[in-house]
Structure 1
Amino acid sequence: MAIAGLLCACITSSGVGRADDRAPWPPPESRPDSAAGDAQASAEETDTRIAYTVEIQGLAEGEDDLETLLRGSSRLIGLQDDLPATVAGVRRRARADVERFQKALRSEGFYDANVSFEIAEPPPDATAGAPQADAPAAPASDSPAPDSPAPDSTVPAPAETVREPLEVTFEVETGTVYLLARVDISYTPATPPEREGIPRGAEGLDLQLGMRARAPAIQAAERRLLSALENHGYPDARVRDRQAVIDRSQKTMRVNWQVDPGAFTRFGEIDVSGLETVEAKYVRSFSTWTPGDVYDQRRIEQMRGKLLETGLFDSIQVDRAGEPSDGRTPIQLTLDEREHRSIGFGARYSTSTGPSGTAFWEHRNLLGQDENLRLELNAGLIEQRFTATARKPRWNRDDQDLLGNFELRHKDSDSFEEYAAEAGVSVEREFDDLWTGRLGGSVEALQTTDNEGTREFILFGVPTALTRDSRDDPLDPTEGSRLSLEATPYLSTVESFQPFFTGSLGGATYYTIDAQDRFVLAGRARVGTLFGAETEQVPASKRFYAGGGGSIRGFPFEEVGPLDEDNDPLGGRSLVELGVELRIKITETIGIVPFVDAGQVYDTVYPDFSVDEPLRYGAGLGLRYYTAIGPVRLDVAVPLNPRESNDNAFEIYISLGQAF
């Protein structure tokens, strides 16, 4: 509820009777409406326009915010694109600004402020021919004369246009700032019981006695007053009266609110309407209260926010349904479901892997409780993969999901050829807004052909992950970071029983250099290790590889690291990758990205950074085309320290989304 009459309603001066000044409500941020009264008739008869400049003097150093407020409330400045036809029109705007400035200054606690202005015309040699029909402007006072002329209804005969703008100078004397001396809240007809959270004075409204008596701060305090009552069982609270009294002798203000809290109420039952396929029981499970709890508007907003996050609804309306019964208010949820099925396609290309494409079908409400099923097919020259993933949200806990996956894949690269089938189940839990953990089990059947020949494996794994994600956008982040720790112990069977362990730690961070997000510095790093078995004892697909569009750009796909006698990659037991890029937006849709990547794969358990296997560096330039679903990426990269074999002069990568 606005505080639009706070000072206007009742301002008195202690010991001096009724105050001359009125409260600055509504605040003066509203813009001037039009210049119709300044040049209405003249615009039809002549193209003469009076240009002017505006200067504000008298403010102390460090009061830039106050000058910004005055300029924002100025009619002269706001209408500079619509110049008046006469000097008298400029003068009328200046006189209007005097009142606007005084209101703005009062809103900041300067109740004794004085504002005046002068208009200086250019010297005679700055105009051509005879002077303007209007008489030269003399210094003007801060209030118009009683018989000041009406808006221009007649226009002098066309005269020579003023070549130099008029100089309008405002002189501002702020006077002593008034301080907040007292805050009183009186409740009527009923006084709420003494309960934590219900404001009784300044301390409950984020006001401090002795602070500057600013209108915006007092307006915000009234909103906090009503919100506090709404959040503690009084949703119908309203301000019956408000008073702000200034004491000119003490240079202080005291504020009093008379509040009708309304009836105390508790939450009642939830009624749900508008559903088509989503179950009402599932919607009610998002309730952040139980019937009988004290009414709290914050809990309603929390429930609404959680329902929106599901992606099941286009709109969610939450209302109190009717009058309270037995002190309980029923809640009405009205929902509008969105489409739950979708299909999609994607494409990628790089010079080392060739073209590849993706197609998927997704159902986001399979059984009526937000169950998600996604079928995805990825096909390329090197790898073909079919994946089915399912997610059951809110499994046994509100913050916990049950996940299942099944995958068939075939991969034929310079490193190895493999046919595989994998199935797994896991539990994912959100610890808070940033941290997520996952724990599960998996089984894989593999047939792998590499330097060791053709072998078969059955792997039992326990994949775990811990992730911290504060990015503002997964496809095109401009700030925040992502940290991911993944670890999986495996037991390999069939030909022999061989346990081994793989783990990796990776992260990326993003920093916006300017306020418009046109320059974003992004960096990433990743390290990995595999231990418990020798390299040749581990299926080739579980070793580490580097190189390619998501790794070290400029080098062929998965070909950085140990090579066999035919210069085919063998993979390794440890990995290190680094990358940094500067994302520069040229326009809203076009950007460029210079980047540098580095990394290496080692046959040892930990990276040894040996001379024989130095870090490989790649650099290049990318082009980005920004769309509603994310940026389209084109990267061209070259190896900075290429090997004599394997490496090309350059590599090209095309895909959707940033590189990391």
Structure 2
Amino acid sequence: MLLLASGALLPASALAQIGSTPKPGQGAPADDPKPQPPAAAAPEKPIVSDEEFEKSLPPLSDDVNAPLEQIAPADPATAPGGSVAVEPIEDAADLDSAGKEAEIAAPLPPIAEFDTTPVAETAQVNDEAAVEIRYVTRVTGLDELGLTDQFENLSALEDGDGRAANAAIIGARAREDEKLAVRLMRSLGYYDATAVATVEQTPDKQVGAGERRVTATIAATPGPLYRLGTIKLDAGPTVPPTLIADNFALKVGEAIDAVRVQAAEARISLVLPQTGYPFAEVGQRDILLDEETHTGDYVLPITTGARSSFGGIRTEGDAVFDTRHIGILTRFGRDDLYDSRKVDDLRDALIATSLFSTVSVEPVKTGQAGPDGTEYVDLLVRQTKGPPRTLAAEAGYSTGQGFRAEVSWTHRNLFPPEGALILTGVAGTQEQGASATFRRSNAGKRDRTLQIFASALRSDVEAFTSLTGTLGARISYDSTPIWQKPLTYSFGIELVGTREDRYDFARGARERGNYFIGALPLFAGWDKSDDLLNPTRGFRVKANLSPETSVRGAVRPYARAMAEGTAYYPVSDSIVIAGRARFGTIQGIGRDLLAPSRRYYAGGGGSVRGFGYQELGPRSPDGKPVGGRSFNEFAIEARYRFGNFGIVPFIDAGQVYESKIPQMTDMRFGVGVGGRMYTNFGPLRLDIATPIARKPGESKVALYISIGQAF
């Protein structure tokens, strides 16, 4: 019987870190002494008689400390068999050796007379080129078990790339791989596994001067597979009683696979804190192997601890938030059954504020009785303040809009808790402006944001020029890079004052005028895609509705609405087909009574690529776009990714109409190809497109550079 403790089961990724040697008789070659030749027959009489041997010895002194006397050379004539018994001292080197023996026996000189000057030695230089041995590695017995790839990833022989300085290094690598093969097989339950490493030279396969080809072979023999004979989970009572057994994945009769065993134990460690046991601990397993039946009796000790419910919140350290605001971030209430997933969610919410250098959340025992036989646990939040200010910048370019750069400065906690001040400046070919925003995150409720903003912007686009001031407020529930929410929404109010030029068709000339607009913008979105910045599957649906009133001599109420749908379908691991459809309409007012900045336009990097910004749609007699009351847009892309780069061919289509309902006629198409470089903050996008059936005055080629996918 063999006792296998918890350290004996190892995941394949960690097997190369612990040694293991096959037991004798399990594959390790046993010593096989060569057969000895039969002893020679004893001579009839000794070669040298005892009497002759005694006579040849020199006389010995009675002084045990005296140096040994020299042995006189034997007379060749009297040596047995006519051979010389002792060589005489014939050269200076032999004489010097004899003199040194006498010198050793002499008294040592005083220490002061020693010469302490270091002896300079000349290093030997080997001018010959270092000999390199090339070898090939051959493995047998692991492919049938599916272990070949793991072996090659961890192999010392494979890591050497088939080259070594000498044969000793190849042998050492082979011995390491021999142990590795055994550990890999044992990780699957083959505990009688053996492996033998051999290194053979094949001189007939010469590679080049100074190089020799050798073959290192690892022959693995798995032996019988050990299976679980019995399973015992040594744990206290739980609610429900079968909680541990229902979540333990191993069954009697299964192979003792290290990965499956560790995964089953990890699941228990995960499930118990999620179901009311915050202090549960999984102990070290014991597996008793039976070499006759090839089974193992499995025992796992588990300490469940008290079943618990959420109590209060404590905090310590350099506090950023008080316990009241931390309570707003929680998704649980007092008396709820403890769930570690909700604790992790609270920690993520704290991290998402970007106001901490370090923050942790952990349960603390209180000893107080809770509901349903539980005990209360408090959550201890340890806080350390981080830098609250951020300076950010972004830039983009397109042939229709030119350059655009934006710089922002943010103090995320100027008005605690989470009251931020954001100052933004915009400079570009077609627009320049500045804005100031007050933002309260988690405003009285988790994930709810309040914004109050003011901005001034000058625009000089092809359709119009404007100088616009905006004052507004908005409450929103948005997705973030940490939490991509299925449902998002916003509602608010805007007061806009703008001075813009427009073409007066009645007069046949352009004129400038002032517009005062009040709007109640509403938004709702449903997102079932798999990623916020780079979706590869799923869909999104968005809807905007903005009841507005334009005041220019008279009050004219109207409504602007837009709907958009996008879908993403993965054809393979590297190709995603993405599509988009978008429609817009303005009801309740004529086009020419609208401020030019409130009309719909199409064309550009975020619309129909291949055309310049606002290039599609009806035009005035002076050749400038006048916008419309409705539009439609369509796009389809094939996103091919290889590593951190990608190629995206695409086709876009769209048009703007004077009517209040899109007509789906006179559609214009653009075709192009884009490049992507994928980063940890989203893809960098470069698209080049051209219009199909280009008309005079339209762009020949359009270039767009930005961050994120087109949709």
TM-score bracket for the superposition, by shorter chain length: 0.7 to 0.9
- Please report the TM-score for the alignment, with normalisation by the length of structure 1: 0.75
The yes-or-no answer on 1:440 pairing with 2:492 is yes
Q: Give the structure 2 partner of residue 614 of structure 1.
A: 667
The separation in 2 between residues aligned to 1:465 and 1:632, in whole angstroms, is 27
1:98, distance to aligned residue in structure 2 (A):
3.5
Native 8 Å contact 1:620 1:638 kept in 2: no
The yes-or-no answer on 1:70 pairing with 2:151 is yes
Distance change >3 Å, CA 100–CA 549, structure 1 → 2: closer
The separation in 1 between residues aligned to 2:698 and 2:518, in whole angstroms, is 36
Q: Give the structure 2 partner of residue 166 of structure 1.
A: 215
1:112, distance to aligned residue in structure 2 (A):
4.8
Give the 3-state SS of the residue equivalent to 1:259 in structure 2. strand
Distance change >3 Å, CA 84–CA 219, structure 1 → 2: farther
Q: Give the structure 1 partner of residue 298 of structure 2.
A: 255
Native 8 Å contact 2:647 2:673 kept in 1: no
Distance change >3 Å, CA 377–CA 196, structure 1 → 2: farther
1:266, distance to aligned residue in structure 2 (A):
5.2
Give the 3-state SS of the residue equivalent to 1:433 in structure 2. coil
Q: Give the structure 2 partner of residue 183 of structure 1.
A: 231
The yes-or-no answer on 1:8 pairing with 2:19 is no
Give the 3-state SS of the residue equivalent to 2:597 in structure 1. helix
Give the RMSD, CA atoms, in angstroms.
4.1
* 1:81-96 alignment, distance < 5 Å: 83=164, 85-86=166-167, 90-91=170-171, 93-96=173-176
1:161, distance to aligned residue in structure 2 (A):
4.3
Give the 3-state SS of the residue equivalent to 1:124 in structure 2. coil
The higher radius of gyration belongs to: 2
1:384, distance to aligned residue in structure 2 (A):
3.7
Question: Of residues 401, 426, 429 in structure 2, which corresponds to 1:378?
Answer: 426
Question: Of residues 590, 601, 610 in structure 2, which corresponds to 1:545?
Answer: 601
The residue type paired with residue 436 of structure 2 is A
Give the 3-state SS of the residue equivalent to 1:451 in structure 2. strand
Q: Give the structure 2 partner of residue 54 of structure 1.
A: 137
Give the 3-state SS of the residue equivalent to 2:632 in structure 1. strand
* 1:96-135 alignment, distance < 5 Å: 96-116=176-196, 119-122=199-202, 124=204, 126=206
Give the 3-state SS of the residue equivalent to 1:533 in structure 2. coil
Question: Of residues 601, 610, 616 in structure 2, which corresponds to 1:554?
Answer: 610
Q: Give the structure 2 partner of residue 215 of structure 1.
A: 258
Q: Give the structure 2 partner of residue 415 of structure 1.
A: 463
Write out per-residue CA displacement over residues 428-484 of structure 1, whole angstroms, 9 at most, x where no aligned residue: 236973321223333434444312355554444332222245677766667776543
Write out per-residue CA displacement over residues 275-294 of structure 1, whole angstroms, 9 at most, x where no aligned residue: 36544532343244555655
Write out per-residue CA displacement over residues 386-410 of structure 1, whole angstroms, 9 at most, x where no aligned residue: 3333332333432433333333334
The yes-or-no answer on 1:536 pairing with 2:592 is yes
Distance change >3 Å, CA 395–CA 28, structure 1 → 2: closer
Native 8 Å contact 1:28 1:100 kept in 2: no
1:369, distance to aligned residue in structure 2 (A):
1.4
The separation in 1 between residues aligned to 2:263 and 2:562, in whole angstroms, is 49
Write out per-residue CA displacement over residues 586-624 of structure 1, whole angstroms, 9 at most, x where no aligned residue: 996x877655433221223443333xx2313243556x6
The separation in 2 between residues aligned to 1:175 and 1:378, in whole angstroms, is 72
The yes-or-no answer on 1:639 pairing with 2:691 is yes
Native 8 Å contact 1:573 1:606 kept in 2: yes
Distance change >3 Å, CA 354–CA 394, structure 1 → 2: closer
The separation in 2 between residues aligned to 1:285 and 1:609, in whole angstroms, is 49
The residue type paired with residue 614 of structure 1 is M
Give the 3-state SS of the residue equivalent to 1:336 in structure 2. strand
Native 8 Å contact 2:138 2:215 kept in 1: no
Structure 2 residue runs of 5 or longer lacking an equivalent are 20-125, 370-374, 505-510
* 1:219-618 alignment, distance < 5 Å: 219-239=262-282, 242-247=285-290, 251-262=294-305, 267-275=310-318, 278-290=321-333, 295-320=338-363, 328-429=376-477, 433-452=485-504, 456-469=514-527, 482-508=540-566, 523-580=579-636, 595-610=650-665, 613-618=666-671
Q: Give the structure 1 partner of residue 84 of structure 2.
A: none
Distance change >3 Å, CA 400–CA 58, structure 1 → 2: same
Report the identity percentage: 29
Give the 3-state SS of the residue equivalent to 1:408 in structure 2. strand
The separation in 1 between residues aligned to 2:487 and 2:303, in whole angstroms, is 43
1:84, distance to aligned residue in structure 2 (A):
5.9
The residue type paired with residue 562 of structure 2 is S
1:486, distance to aligned residue in structure 2 (A):
1.9
1:545, distance to aligned residue in structure 2 (A):
0.6
Q: Give the structure 2 partner of residue 649 of structure 1.
A: 700
The residue type paired with residue 214 of structure 2 is P
Write out per-residue CA displacement over residues 468-506 of structure 1, whole angstroms, 9 at most, x where no aligned residue: 456777666677765432222334445445443322233
The yes-or-no answer on 1:192 pairing with 2:237 is yes
1:533, distance to aligned residue in structure 2 (A):
3.5
The separation in 2 between residues aligned to 1:232 and 1:196, in whole angstroms, is 12
- Which stretch has the larger CA shift, 249-258 or 551-560? 249-258
The residue type paired with residue 694 of structure 2 is P
Distance change >3 Å, CA 206–CA 486, structure 1 → 2: farther
1:236, distance to aligned residue in structure 2 (A):
4.1
Q: Give the structure 2 partner of residue 140 of structure 1.
A: none
The separation in 2 between residues aligned to 1:648 and 1:471, in whole angstroms, is 34
Distance change >3 Å, CA 89–CA 599, structure 1 → 2: same
Q: Give the structure 2 partner of residue 147 of structure 1.
A: none
1:308, distance to aligned residue in structure 2 (A):
1.0
